[in-house]
A and B are shown apart, each in its own frame.
Chain A
């Protein structure tokens, strides 16, 4: 990928983030001119970037959204939830394209189709609101460039569409300069709205050359935020709806016209201008079709319980613009630095050993060497700390993805939600930040899906209809705490008990002895899922046990607290920095163990005869030094000492200046792992310094060489 494109991808991603955050704020506060400007600028810059790298499809898509925002800026149109949704959809498409560009270094070929990602339909309806009520079908026609040679006249074909209501013609790509303009090449996108049905339109367009997309236009919909009306207004509207039931052929026109007019006036007086316009159109449609249906349906929409979306991000007042002095560094370079620092530690340890040898031999330089060694030790420790500090990221990058996620969940499940994010400046190691999204998402999904009650039930329990989801992050000593709380129904302990029993997660006897918190903790057990109904959101077979595994893998803990009827809080306690330990895996007695790499001097293969018994122990000579040898499998009690065979594989280790040899069956690979100290029953077990999870989920015991060789 060339440098320009790389830069383009990085910058575009930042702009998408900026625009997304801004749009979500705008959805709540459509009059925030500063936010609107910021979002508009982000879209504008995105478009500019796409232009520079000549990514025409993205340029067009972003241009569409920019037009909407431009309209909002000049006050020509209000920024409704639907329009914000369109802009967000546009950004989603951009992100998808960026992913493809990043992976392949090429601009996605699917994007060559100009209609991809563009929401031409919404745009067209927006611009032709006057005919919205009558429109039944929309189409976008992009004739082939050489269609003129085939005797095609696209414009004539479209203007001859039955019951054409609106027409828009745009250049497919921006007009070239006139001297290079080819009048024989068709460069148009024709978009039309018609009252004719889909089948009529399809029949009319039969035999065209080019791409033609037709869509059925759904009946009028009133934007969800227009639904919250004062009760008196609702009463009047309801009365108009009732009035329609009494319309007879004789009084039809009078009834419909007066009901429609009254309803529109009520909406206008509540400043619901868009809804009022829609009602007026429905009235007109009712009069034309001689049926009360359109107006009745339209009024009914005002009473349908659609959720109001209430997503909120905490916004630092006057957050300074990103003028901080930061450098963009490829994460791989930082990782390389971390690795090198690790190597340096190993080298430092070796140097320490040399200093000790010099001292033993009474070398004159021993004292100086020792002094230098101490300084080196301190410097390398500092270096390691600052290098690991480079991997620290704010949790914002994860948490800021949630307002969108929650917004969608709220719409999909019909549960109004507020999201409160706190402490998104809290920092943690990159590895922690990166692994956090999936488990958090799972918990949030569970909370929304199972925790939060449907609005009706909430009302019955005397709770506010808008539920609250809280995401809090904070630093506590060397831990990072992330909490996900909800004010839903809490965890149903009786149900957990029932399910645990039914699924064999715990026996009757065990359950009887468990305290309530222990029972609640069972939701993290493998094979447990309380979802009575599998929904799109959760219950996809990945249980809470996956969450616990993911968190424990980086050395964290998960706990849950629930109060019946008041909600639940899931708490992740994560280590602030993840110390990566390099280990080498070895096999002994059919099991795999890890040996810390900084304890290993070398690995050798020696003939069996080189190992001789000295009293009860064994030793071998290695480069004029006697090295005690321990059979790893035997010392761990896995089997009797080995005998027979020709060669023995020995891992030569050095801990605090003492050499030792571990006899193993086989040597595995080098791994970088996160070492987790032993806890629970294993605490204080000799010979084991910690455990780590392997990629395949197996537990790797990492040996404490010093203790083993004692």
Chain B
């Protein structure tokens, strides 16, 4: 399981998050409104997972572990937060 609740009370994304984990992430976010998402350990995330982040706009704890995520996906999410 790469998506789980951390000891600090955040949702934690670690390693490679696959497509079916979008659902799990969504459940966490729905269960606890305003919960933070810590993706500092995330090495890759499937579009489905990113899409959940875009739709729910949680506060993110970053930067993510992967350069690709940091360079391309983080700005997209940041732009979503601005709206």
Q: Interface of chain B, helix or strand or loop or mixed?
A: helix
- Tell me, yes or no, whether B61 is within 8 Å of chain A by CB: no
Check A154 against B76 for contact (C-beta < 8 Å). no
- The answer to whether residues A153 and B47 also contact, given A159-B68, A169-B76 and a CB cut-off of 8 A, is yes
- The answer to whether residues A167 and B76 also contact, given A175-B55, A178-B55, A183-B26 and a CB cut-off of 8 A, is yes
Check A183 against B72 for contact (C-beta < 8 Å). no
Contacts of A181 in B (CB 8 A): 26, 52, 55-56
- A127 to B: closest C-beta gap in Å: 10
Q: Mark B1-43, 1 if CB is under 8 A from A, else 0.
A: 0000000000000000001001101100110000000000000
Check A169 against B54 for contact (C-beta < 8 Å). yes
Contacts of A167 in B (CB 8 A): 72, 75-76
**For the complex, what is the distance from the CA of A175 to the CA of B48, rounded to whole Å?**
14
- Tell me, yes or no, whether A155 is within 8 Å of chain B by CB: yes
- Tell me, yes or no, whether A156 is within 8 Å of chain B by CB: yes
**For the complex, what is the distance from the CA of A154 to the CA of B79, rounded to whole Å?**
19
Q: Mark A136-171, 1 if CB is under 8 A from B, else 0.
A: 000000010000100011111001000010011101
Check B47 against A171 for contact (C-beta < 8 Å). no
Kindly identify, within residues 38 to 76 of chain B, every residue whose CB is under 8 Å from any CB belonging to chain A: 44, 46-48, 50-52, 54-56, 68, 72-73, 75-76
Check A168 against B76 for contact (C-beta < 8 Å). yes
Check B55 against A171 for contact (C-beta < 8 Å). yes
**For the complex, what is the distance from the CA of A81 to the CA of B47, rounded to whole Å?**
37
- Tell me, yes or no, whether A246 is within 8 Å of chain B by CB: no
Check A178 against B47 for contact (C-beta < 8 Å). no
**For the complex, what is the distance from the CA of A186 to the CA of B22, rounded to whole Å?**
11
Check A156 against B52 for contact (C-beta < 8 Å). no
- Tell me, yes or no, whether A501 is within 8 Å of chain B by CB: no
Q: Which residue of chain B has its CB nearest to the CB of A183?
A: B22
Contacts of B51 in A (CB 8 A): 183, 186-188
**For the complex, what is the distance from the CA of A154 to the CA of B56, rounded to whole Å?**
19
**For the complex, what is the distance from the CA of A418 to the CA of B19, rounded to whole Å?**
59
Q: Which residue of chain A has its CB nearest to the CB of B33?
A: A178
CB-contact partner of B47 in A154, A164, A168, under 8 A: A154
A178, A183, A188 — most chain B CB neighbours (10 Å): A183
CB-contact partner of B48 in A148, A159, A169, A178, under 8 A: A148
- A183 to B: closest C-beta gap in Å: 4
User: What class of interface size applies to chain A in its complex with B?
Assistant: 20 to 34
Check B46 against A153 for contact (C-beta < 8 Å). yes
B44, B47, B52 — most chain A CB neighbours (10 Å): B47
Check B30 against A179 for contact (C-beta < 8 Å). yes
- Tell me, yes or no, whether A184 is within 8 Å of chain B by CB: yes
Check B50 against A155 for contact (C-beta < 8 Å). yes
Check A183 against B46 for contact (C-beta < 8 Å). no
Q: Which residue of chain B has its CB nearest to the CB of A174?
A: B55
Check B72 against A164 for contact (C-beta < 8 Å). yes
**For the complex, what is the distance from the CA of A187 to the CA of B75, rounded to whole Å?**
18
- A294 to B: closest C-beta gap in Å: 26
Q: Which residue of chain A has its CB nearest to the CB of B77?
A: A169
Contacts of A186 in B (CB 8 A): 47-48, 51
Check A156 against B46 for contact (C-beta < 8 Å). yes
**For the complex, what is the distance from the CA of A154 to the CA of B55, rounded to whole Å?**
17
- B80 to A: closest C-beta gap in Å: 8
Contacts of A175 in B (CB 8 A): 54-55
- B46 to A: closest C-beta gap in Å: 5
Contacts of A156 in B (CB 8 A): 44, 46-47
Contacts of A178 in B (CB 8 A): 26, 29-30, 55-56
Contacts of A153 in B (CB 8 A): 19, 46-47
Q: Which residue of chain B has its CB nearest to the CB of A175?
A: B55
Q: Which residue of chain A has its CB nearest to the CB of B44?
A: A156
Contacts of A143 in B (CB 8 A): 47
A159, A167, A184 — most chain B CB neighbours (10 Å): A159
**For the complex, what is the distance from the CA of A617 to the CA of B38, rounded to whole Å?**
111
Check A183 against B73 for contact (C-beta < 8 Å). no
Contacts of A164 in B (CB 8 A): 72
Contacts of A184 in B (CB 8 A): 19, 22-23, 48
Contacts of B56 in A (CB 8 A): 178, 181
Q: Which residue of chain A has its CB nearest to the CB of B47?
A: A155
Contacts of B26 in A (CB 8 A): 178, 181, 183
**For the complex, what is the distance from the CA of A370 to the CA of B68, rounded to whole Å?**
97
- B14 to A: closest C-beta gap in Å: 18
Check B30 against A155 for contact (C-beta < 8 Å). no
Q: Which residue of chain B has its CB nearest to the CB of A167?
A: B72
Contacts of B23 in A (CB 8 A): 183-184
Q: Which residue of chain A has its CB nearest to the CB of B30?
A: A178
Contacts of B76 in A (CB 8 A): 167-169
Check B19 against A148 for contact (C-beta < 8 Å). yes
- B17 to A: closest C-beta gap in Å: 11
Contacts of B75 in A (CB 8 A): 167
**For the complex, what is the distance from the CA of A186 to the CA of B54, rounded to whole Å?**
12
**For the complex, what is the distance from the CA of A184 to the CA of B55, rounded to whole Å?**
13
**For the complex, what is the distance from the CA of A184 to the CA of B79, rounded to whole Å?**
23
- The answer to whether residues A188 and B22 also contact, given A171-B54, A178-B56 and a CB cut-off of 8 A, is no
Check B54 against A183 for contact (C-beta < 8 Å). no
Q: Which residue of chain B has its CB nearest to the CB of A147?
A: B47
Contacts of A188 in B (CB 8 A): 47, 51, 54
B22, B30, B55 — most chain A CB neighbours (10 Å): B55
Q: Which residue of chain B has its CB nearest to the CB of A168?
A: B76
**For the complex, what is the distance from the CA of A187 to the CA of B55, rounded to whole Å?**
10
Check A159 against B46 for contact (C-beta < 8 Å). no
- A186 to B: closest C-beta gap in Å: 7
**For the complex, what is the distance from the CA of A256 to the CA of B44, rounded to whole Å?**
42
- A607 to B: closest C-beta gap in Å: 88
Check A183 against B48 for contact (C-beta < 8 Å). yes
Q: Which residue of chain A has its CB nearest to the CB of B80?
A: A169
**For the complex, what is the distance from the CA of A612 to the CA of B55, rounded to whole Å?**
94
- A286 to B: closest C-beta gap in Å: 26
**For the complex, what is the distance from the CA of A164 to the CA of B52, rounded to whole Å?**
24
**For the complex, what is the distance from the CA of A159 to the CA of B23, rounded to whole Å?**
23
CB-contact partner of A148 in B30, B47, B79, under 8 A: B47
- B34 to A: closest C-beta gap in Å: 13
**For the complex, what is the distance from the CA of A660 to the CA of B80, rounded to whole Å?**
85
**For the complex, what is the distance from the CA of A179 to the CA of B27, rounded to whole Å?**
10
- B55 to A: closest C-beta gap in Å: 4
Contacts of A183 in B (CB 8 A): 22-23, 25-26, 48, 51-52
Query: With contacts A167-B72, A167-B76, A178-B55 known, what are 11 further pairs, Cβ within 8 A?
Result: A148-B22, A148-B48, A152-B47, A155-B47, A156-B46, A159-B68, A164-B72, A179-B30, A186-B51, A187-B51, A188-B47
10 A–B pairs (Cβ distance < 8 Å), ordered by A: A148-B47, A152-B47, A153-B19, A155-B50, A156-B47, A169-B76, A178-B56, A183-B25, A183-B48, A183-B51
Q: Which 5 pairs, one residue from A and one from B, show the smallest C-beta to C-beta distance? A: A183-B22, A155-B47, A175-B55, A169-B76, A159-B72
